[in-house]
Each structure stands twice: as structure tokens, then as C-alpha cells.
Amino acid sequence: MVFRKPPDGGWGWVIVVVSFFTQFLCYGSPLAVGVLYLEWLDAFGEGKGKTAWVGSLANGIGLLASPVCSICVSSFGARPVAIFSGFMVAGGLMMSSFAPNIYFLYVSYGIVVGLGCGLLYTATVTITCQYFDKRRGLALGLISTGSSVGLFIYAALQRELIELYGLDGCLLIVGALSLNILACGSLMRPLESSSSPPEKTFVDKVPDQYFVYHEKEKTVEENISILEKGYTDEKCVNNVPDCKQDSISNKNVLSSINVNEKDTYKKKVVEQTNFCKQLAKRKWQLYLTYWKETMVLFKNKVFSALFVAILLFDIGGFPPSLLMEDVARSANISEDDYYMPLISIIGIMTTVGKLILGILADFKWVNTLYLYVTTLLMTGVALFAIPFAKSYLTLAMLSGILGFLTGNWSIFPYVTTKTVGIEKLTHAYGILMFFAGLGNSLGPPIVGWFYDWTQEYDTAFYFSGLCVLLGGFLLLLAALPCWNACTNQSSKLPPNTYSYKVASNA
């Protein structure tokens, strides 16, 4: 497959639009699952920790399976994966309307919908990067806002649908809306100019006669007898009267093979066997190289602190988007005081945060790592303030602040690139996204278990704030210039990495 140079426009803008709506349709319900969470609590009567697993799986499983998603898109292309994933998301949502218990939701909503969202996210990002080069940052920023806008709209939409049609009807309608992903996926035309047959590998170029020996080891004489028998049988079928005569002549021809020819054939068999062994050894070396590169990444103390920070941030920072509605209900806030769902406020402010923080990261005088650390520390402080919020207004303000700070996802690739270098970005980003998915999966259940244990959310959000603050301080400590000087690690960083210095960047 020969790809053209990214056009940075043209059909690329159609790709941006359909990718925006794809993320809007697939992530709208999982990100606004807090509205459904309240209904599941009442419908199944399970604990908050057990029920929270549904939403955490839906948002975390796609990140956990990001390596598998990347392989699928690379193997089959963005358009087939998007269409297939559209069926997964829509089917998972519709199946969830018939859930008899919470365990059924773990599979239908948590795993099926979550994995479909992960595949769609990878497909949209991949196809957008293929169509854009100079404007890639703008294009990715535009499509990433689709999930935040989906959170804003779906929070109010699902609440309204539940009031009109009940929980089951809401899931059926939302699932039907997700079928529009199929139309979006069909427009993801691959960027290619021509199709050429794949170049044969070295194994494919090996002549067929090299493969005449059986899987079991045989001598040269045994292989010759096999060839003799096959040739004779073929002649007998085609010409019965001449069968006996041909058999005798074939034996005479084969017996006339001299010792040098036998040695040559045996040498070819040995060479082919050695080639297979070398190929297996090379594959094994690739796996060893992958793990060696992974260990080199973790020798960089900033990267090690970054993976701890993203894990703790998602454990502590993700639960508010899932549980904020239940926090308001636990604080005995009347629904008449609601001007807008708290989850909708989080969604719209996340969009604003992504745009503003992304713009700030482009300024040369802004150190993106310190900017990211600042968002972590402020998030921890906001989480500590949630137990003191006893009115809708204060909860709405905290929701807006948390939503804005959650927009730090837009600068996370900047931080990763500055930490490990552009050459190792893909490798490092995949590892970090795995830990982010792990944090998304564990955060809400942990907060729910704290509530089941204490019957109040105060302790749970103190724990969440402590996790985020701890991750922020560890990352700050690893990035301080004085710490670099004390440990003399700057010279040991992998190639194409950067040591963060306040004097030069901030």
C-alpha cells in the first residue's frame, strides 16, 4: 500500500468532522455514565463500589487494551475497524437495557462498549494523523473535543430519556443513536494512491523444492523414495499401460543421481533449517529488545514519576465525573435547585480546559511539565474541597474547576515527548495509557467502597485528593533542577530526552 503525502485539508476536513461525531457518539454515554449510575443503584440494590465497576470498566478497558486496538487498526485499517466498533458500541448499549443483574452490565456495558470505544478512539486518531501533518495538532484538538461535547449533551439527554422512557428505553435509544457511527466510519476513506502486491519476504522467495522434506526429519533417500512414489502414481493414473515401464525408467533415473547431487540437496535442506532457526531467534531478539527499551525508559526518573503520577491522577481524579451526581444526592440537594447536571458542567469545562491548556503549551516560555504538575496539585486541592460543598452552587463551581483541570489530557503528549523524545513517544505513550486505564478502572470502585465502609463520601474524596497530590509532588520532585544536580542523572538520560530547568523554560 502506497500512501500519498498528507494533504492537510481537502477530504481531511471530512475526516475531522466524522471523527468528531464518532467520538461524540461513542464516548457520550460512557463519560456521562454518572446519570445511569444512580438508576443502577436503585434498580439492582448493589453497593456503590460494586456498581461503580460498570462505568470504570467502560472508560478504562479501552486504555488497557490500547496495544490490541493499535494492532487491529494497523492490520485492517481505520474504516473497517470503525464500522465493526460501531456495532460493538450500539450492541453493547442495547444489550445493557436487558441486563438482569449488575454482572451482566460488567460485560455488556463495561467490556463490550469500553472495548468498542477504545477501538474507535484509535481509528479516529490514526486516520486523522494520516490526513494531516502541518495542521495535525489543530485536527487532533478538534476531534478530541467530541468526547467532551458528548459528555455535556449526553448527561442532560440521558436524564431526560430516563424520565420519559425509563432506564431500559434510554439505553435502547442511546444505542440506536450510536448506529450513526457506521455512517461516520464509512466516510473514513483511507489515504492511498495505489495498491501494489505486498513484497515477498525472504521465506516466500525460497524455491518450492526446498520444502519437499516432511516436518519429521528424514534422510535424503527417504525423500527421494517419496518423490519416486508420487511421480509413479501420477503416471499410473494418466496412462495405465505405461505404468510399469515408467516406474522402471524412473527408478533408473533416480538411481543415477550421483553423490554430489545428493550432497547438494542435503546442503539445501540444512540451509533452510538453519534459516528457520535464525528467523525464530530474530523474533525472540525483537521481544528482548522491546523489554530492554522499556527498562531503559524506566531508568529515566522523570518518566518513572510520570507513570506514577498518571496512575494516581486517574485513581483520584476520574471518580468525580462518575459520582458527582450521587454526591449531590447524598448531600440532600433538591433536584429543583439543579440548573444543569453537574456532569454536563464537567464536560463543557473539560473542552475549555483542553483548548486553553493546549494553547498555553505552545508558548515557548511555558514549561509544559510544570504546567502539568500545576494542574495535578490544583486538582488535589479541589478534591479536598468536595466534602465541604453542601450546596448546588459550590458543587457546580468545583465541577467546573475539576473539568477544566481534567483538560490537561491535551498537554500530556507534550510532556511525554519532552520526557522521552519523539523517537520513543509511541512506546512510552502506550505504557502510560495502560496505567491511565488501570487508574480509570480502579478509581470509582475504590471511592465507592469507601462510601460503603463509612456511609459518607468525605473520606473517599480525602483519599482521592491525597492520591493526586502525591503524584503531583513526586513528579515535581523528579523534575526539579536541584534534584537533577544531586543525582547526576542528566547525563544518563536516554537520547533525545530533556532535563527540565526552570531557568531556561519557565
Share of the chain above pLDDT 90, in %: 23
Per-residue model confidence (pLDDT) at position 94: 95
Average pLDDT over residues 10-14: 85
When pLDDT is averaged across residues 485-501 and rounded to a whole number, the result is 42
Same fold across 1-194 and 276-483: yes
Residue 79 has pLDDT above 50, yes or no: yes
Straight-line distance from the first to the last Cα atom of the chain, in angstroms, rounded to the nearest whole number:
45
Which sequence spans correspond to the domains of the chain?
1-194, 276-483
Mean pLDDT across 255-270: 58
Q: Which residue has the higher pLDDT, 204 or 375?
A: 375
For residue 428, pLDDT beyond 50: yes
Round the average pLDDT of the chain to a whole number and report it: 77
pLDDT of amino acid 138: 72
What are the CA-CA distances from residue 190 to residues 32, 81, 119, 373 (Å)? 31, 12, 16, 38
Range ranked top by mean pLDDT from 85-94, 211-220, 239-248, 410-419: 85-94
Please give the residue that has the higher pLDDT: either 375 or 443.
375
Give me the architecture of the 1-194 domain, per CATH: Up-down Bundle (1.20)
pLDDT tens profile 22-70: 999 999 889 888 889 889 988 888 888 888 889 888 888 888 887 778 7
Q: What separation in angstroms does the CA of 380 have from each of 104, 225, 317, 477? A: 34, 78, 8, 16
Does 215 score more than 50 pLDDT?
Answer: no
Read off the pLDDT of each residue in 239-245 and give the average, rounded to a whole number: 50
In this prediction, residue 260 carries a pLDDT of 57
pLDDT of residue 279: 61
Provide the pLDDT confidence category of residue 86 given band limits of 50, 70 and 90. very high
Using DSSP, state whether 2 is helix, strand or coil.
strand
Q: CA separation (Å) from 2 to 75, 78, 91, 190?
A: 15, 16, 35, 11
pLDDT tens digits, residue range 341-374?
888 888 888 888 888 887 787 777 888 888 999 9
Q: Which residues of 135-148 are buried (b: 16+ CB within 10 A; e: fewer)?
A: bbeebbbbbbbbbb
495 neighbors 369 (Cβ within 8 angstroms): no
pLDDT tens per residue across span 174-192: 999 999 999 999 999 887 6
Residue of 159, 172, 131, 118 whose CA lies nearest to 17:
131
Among 84-88, 213-217, 227-231, 325-329, the range scoring the smallest mean pLDDT is 213-217
Could you say which of 3.40.640.10, 3.40.309.10, 3.30.300.90, 1.20.1250.20 is the CATH number of the domain covering 276-483? 1.20.1250.20
Whether the Cβ atoms of residue 188 and residue 127 lie closer than 8 Å to each other: yes
pTM attached to this predicted model? 0.66
